Structure 1
Amino acid sequence: MANPSSTSGIHMANGFDPADGGTLDPAAAALLHRRDSVLGPSYRLFYREPIAAESARGVWIHGVDGRDYLDAYNNVPAIGHSHPAVTAAVTAQLSKLNTHTRYLTEPIIRYSERLLAKFPAELNRVTYACTGSEAIDLAIRTARSQTGKQGLIISEHAYHGTTVAAAGISPSLGPNNPLGEHVVTIPSIDTARTPADQVATRLVESVEKAILTLEESGAGVAAVILDSIFSSDGVQTSPSGFLADVVAAVHRAGGLYIADEVQPGFGRTGTWWGFQHHGITPDLVVLGKPMGNGLPISAVVGSESVQEAFGSRVRYFNTFGGNPVSIAAASAVLDVIEEDGLVEHASQIGDKLLEGLKDIASRYEPVIDVRGRGLFLAMEFGANDETCTADPALAARVVNAMRDEGILISASGPAAAALKIRPPMPFSAENSDFLLETLDRVIEREVRSA
């Protein structure tokens, strides 16, 4: 039987492959051996030398090797690892009541009122699940029921989840992951190589071609589903508003716009929701694990009218979707974001990081683009000529060198040539300085040695 960790037939950005020759810490090597003896072969690990984590607090992960690693990658612990407010809220609720939504409980109503107040007024209903994948699945069912159509439009390197329906709209899972029926892809946005004044035009042209394909097939357009930060497509953020014409085109075709806010949501981009940077209101919004700082909770938010057809015909029941314990975690997350001003903080520290990344880029020819919003940023490597040919090898070297220096980031995009920097939201100015100084030193070393 194949060693799961050595399965290298499917490339994953920043994925571990023992054939690369990395030397593991003895404690990590022992864990890896035990892991490969019991876990399924579809699992993958990060980094040339995987991190064996023992504990985490705030923006730091402590390894079994005794080292502390600055976490500049994990968005799920949105308000920081092991946050005491979440621990206290979950512990108190778990000792009191944990049941399903077929009983009346007050916390889910109170939380829903607070959550919906963060959205445009027309988005006035929320349905809970446990994972982002389940919420994506529910959003697809809702859109198809509401429109009476089947077709879905996605970006060609999207990631939306792991259920049959969600994996079927997640081409970034690899070439052996089949897309679902009536799913059409559009080219990934490429702001590193596309003039800013052409981004929206090219995107809407691609969407209109996809609409035509679906209409000619008889499927029609149920929805376009886009991650509001285009994380798997390399973090595509500019210019503001480039999605507006796409949404208008889909609406003309009778379809809906589903905003996947699992990664950009809850203030990470310097606004509560990523779609706000485009000046649009989605028909449906999908939320995921960052809303509970990692506890199993997700949701679909939309208007009552958009959800009417599905809700009137189908009983949706997710046994522990929106259970009181997960709701307690989500409530604590909202408390911390509001009380600590983390939306504004993400904007301010994100601006600092963006300016720092641009300063670094100005000194190294292989850096062809820097982009980001709030605490979700990318630095892309490629040839400094008219081709701008992607350089995933340099990106991989930088990611692994940063890991060796004690800072965790990753890579993204169709060619995995863009660094992905996405820390927990309490990331401080001092953390930012450490990241920027280390990245500058690492890039200088890797460029010089190439």
Structure 2
Amino acid sequence: MLNNWKTILLLAIPSIASFASMTVTGMINLIMVGNLGAMAIAIVGVSNIVMYNAWAIFSGIGNTVNYLVAQNFGSNNMKQGIARTYIALLLSLMAGVIILFTGLFGSEGILNVLGSSPDMVSEGKNYLQIRFFAMIFSILSFALHGFFRGIGNTRTPMIASLIGNAFMIFFTYTLTYGNLGLPNLGLAGAGWALFIGEAVVFIISAFAFLKTLNAQFHLVAKPVLDFIESKLMLRESLKLGTQEFSKSMAMFVFTAFVTRLGTHALAANEIALSIMSFGFMPAGAFGSTATILVGQEIGREKSFQARKMGTETAIMGSIFLLVLGTVEFFFAESIAKIYTDDPLVFELTAKLIMISAFLQLFDGFFNFYGGGLRGIGDTTFLLRTSLVLAWGFFIPLTYVMVFILKLSSYGAWLALYTYLALFGITLLVRFYKKDWSKISLKQAAA
């Protein structure tokens, strides 16, 4: 058991550091932008939700290459794993074209659809457009990181993220306010800082990928596109992408509901989400670790060992979340004051944090057991569950809590964590109800 826990930690800690660097960078950027006022905070918050949806649509590409490469690595068939990675990169490039055109022609319309005020649309459309451009690099990097995590190399994504995020912080500081002799671009400067950081992450990841092919697998960087494998990658990517998109689009509607409660409520909501992303950090890291370990053991044809590794990963991740939740609960208001000195905002933010501090354990279940189910390729169940719970439960419940029962932001967050609790428990039950003796490698059908 101790050896298993050591293996889990060696994979999870770099992922936690990677996700933590992104979370801390987002927090620092929001604090820097916060000096521009509540309107700037609201624009960044709404843009974050929009970009989460844009990323979610195409996130299935990176998640698919992650679990398939993990299985290939376990079965010692990395030639197939690398071929699948090239297909993932091609799909990512195609996604990039769609994202580019959406950014160029759809930014203003998206803000209008969200119900933003005319001032928010006027000030935010250029910032959102730049964020779309940055997303192109993010999708490509995520596909490469899926490859690295699949082979058990979580250090390379960590290093790329740390360096890229350092660039983001530096240029947010300099370009937003014109420090160190650089132009004073205001909110647009914060957008360009994110663009530069994402580009740096991709360049480092691409270089490491090409180097890994030669140094570790002794293969030449020669793309081979197999039609049957491409169909598998596309099908799995669509399922996992739609699953993530249904969840993120539900958050999009959730934010639209909160937006109608006013600027202070929206600002508090976005700051609370930024703070609670510290809980998403270990949850996502251990979820990714579960995918790696379960997928590799399935590749080795050790299905019951795969189940055991998934369980132990969930146990360790839960411990992390309980410790983190304790800190968030008792220091909620102090943490909120880091972001803003507006009493109307930080008092509401603190209460939202306290509501979710321990309930985030269920979001952990969603990530841990969702990661394990991805590792065995149970993607159809993940898709169906996501669609049913997001649109048949979460959105109607949020509407009732906010607009019918008039519970304002508190009702919105109670609805959010009720949904996450149900989702997490559903995936937990599925994980242990599976017949693990019948689980095998995911292969393309002829």
TM-score bucket (shorter structure): under 0.3
TM-score (norm 1): 0.27
Q: Which has the higher strand share?
A: 1
Determine which structure has the larger helix proportion and give its number: 2
After TM superposition, the score normalised by the length of structure 2 is 0.27
